[in-house]
Amino acid sequence: MRPPVVDRKTLWCALPRATQAHYSRSVTQGSLRLLVAVHDVTPAHARRLDVLYRLLDELGVRRYALLLVPDWHGAWPLGQYPQFTAQLRERAAMGVEIVLHGLRHDEVGLPRSLAHRMRTFGRTDHEGEFASLQPAEARVRIDQGLATLRASGLDAIGFVPPAWLGGPGLERTVRDAGLAFTEDTRGVVTLAAGRRIGAPATCWSTRRAWRAAGSVLVAGLRLRLERARPLVRVALHPPDVESPAVLSSCRRTLGALLERRTVTDYRELLLEAG
């Protein structure tokens, strides 16, 4: 069963009142940091993305990454949505980071071997576009994606495969394509220095009601378990806004993290890694 669909106005009213002044003034402790990313940025999700942007604004989060999909499911080529890309350029000009996130984000047209199915089982619903791609195929899609972004005036600094599932040799392929980092669920890999920065990613699932409820519980648990982690990541996805429980959990989790952590971004991590 899918979580109930709630219209944008209802969703926004359900969010607690703005508290950005509180968070921006909060005392941060030591070098505990938080990295925030919005996944699946595509005109197909424009309405849901607006809700996420407003949530980040409300919390006072100004530094975050947008993970762009140049042609979502082969039906939403960025170049055909000039208003959407103009907004992305505005955000990028304000310091928001642009990251390539697959080419089409699905597995249409790709062979799905038993090994592939086993590897992606439970991790994604046919969205592991790069999970089993050989390096040459991955490189073609990355180059095509970067060209699409550039044609819209957007320069990506890194590549994150859909569902964080990369095929063999992905790090090298991403580096050869001229990008500075990639990542998986466990951490960020800086490609010039070849450093892995351990940083677990918290994200929510809305594919099934029980998954949504489970991800809300896990997010709360991780807040406690990862209190001392130098760096944690939060990954927001557009469908998160369709479940009031998940959206509240996103807000609660970010709010709690911002009480103790400063917000960082990929550029800062890359600079530090050398």
Footprint of Zn ion (CB under 5 A): 39-40, 162
Contact of 258 with 29, CB cutoff 8 Å: no
Q: Is the dihedral of CA 5, 6, 7, 11 positive or negative?
A: negative
In whole angstroms, how close is the CB of 172 to Zn ion at the nearest point?
22
Nearest residue to 215 (alpha-carbon basis) of 181, 243, 178, 257: 243
Which residues lie below 8 Å from residue 189, measured CB to CB, with a gap of 6+?
Answer: 171, 181, 182, 183, 195, 196, 197
Residue closer to Zn ion, measured from CB, 23 or 206? 206
Residue 75, classed as helix, strand or coil, is coil
Residue closer to Zn ion, measured from CB, 179 or 258? 179
In whole angstroms, how close is the CB of 76 to Zn ion at the nearest point?
13
In whole angstroms, how close is the CB of 73 to Zn ion at the nearest point?
11
Residue closer to Zn ion, measured from CB, 206 or 273? 206
Residue closer to Zn ion, measured from CB, 58 or 129? 129
Residue 197, classed as helix, strand or coil, is strand
In whole angstroms, how close is the CB of 165 to Zn ion at the nearest point?
10
